[in-house]
C-alpha cells in the first residue's frame, strides 16, 4: 500500500476531527482516503458526462430518433387515471 504524507492547516484538521467524532470516519487517514475516493468518483462521473455531451453535440439526435419519446410520453399521460 502506498503511503502519502501531506500537511494541512489547523482548521482543516479540526474539520476532519469533527467528522471522526460524528462517526463518519475512523481516523484522519480514513477521512482522507474517503475524501479522495469521492473526489476521484466525482471526476470520473464528470468526465463521462462530458464525453456524453460531446458525443451528442458531435452527433445530435434526429427528429425521427426523438419522435418516439414524444409519442410514448403522450400515451403514458393518456393512460393515467387523473
pLDDT per residue over 40-72, tens digit each? 999 999 999 999 999 999 999 998 888 888 889
Whether residue 55 is contained in a domain is answered as yes
Whether residue 2 is contained in a domain is answered as no
Whether residue 4 is contained in a domain is answered as no
For the chain, the domain total comes to 1
Whether residue 36 is contained in a domain is answered as yes
Q: Judge contact between 20 and 31, C-beta under 8 A.
A: yes
Residue 28 has pLDDT above 90, yes or no: yes
Whether residue 45 is contained in a domain is answered as yes
Whether residue 15 is contained in a domain is answered as yes
Whether residue 60 is contained in a domain is answered as yes
d(CA 67, CA 62): 9
What's the pLDDT at 81? 85
C-alpha cell at 8: 494541512
C-alpha cell at 16: 476532519
Can you give the pTM of this predicted structure? 0.72
The conformational region for residue 35 under phi > 0 = left, psi -120 to 50 = alpha, else beta, is: alpha
What's the pLDDT at 82? 77
Name the residue range of residue 15's domain: 10-79
> What average pLDDT does the structure give for the chain?
95
Whether residue 1 is contained in a domain is answered as no
d(CA 50, CA 57): 10
Amino acid at each position: 500500500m502506498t503511503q502519502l504524507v501531506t500537511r494541512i492547516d489547523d482548521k482543516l484538521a479540526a474539520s476532519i476531527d469533527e467528522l471522526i467524532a460524528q462517526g463518519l470516519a475512523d481516523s484522519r487517514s480514513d477521512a482522507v482516503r474517503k475524501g479522495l475516493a469521492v473526489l476521484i468518483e466525482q471526476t470520473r462521473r464528470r468526465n463521462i458526462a462530458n464525453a456524453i455531451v460531446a458525443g451528442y453535440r458531435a452527433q445530435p439526435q434526429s427528429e425521427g430518433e426523438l419522435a418516439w419519446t414524444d409519442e410514448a410520453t403522450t400515451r403514458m399521460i393518456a393512460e393515467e387515471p387523473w
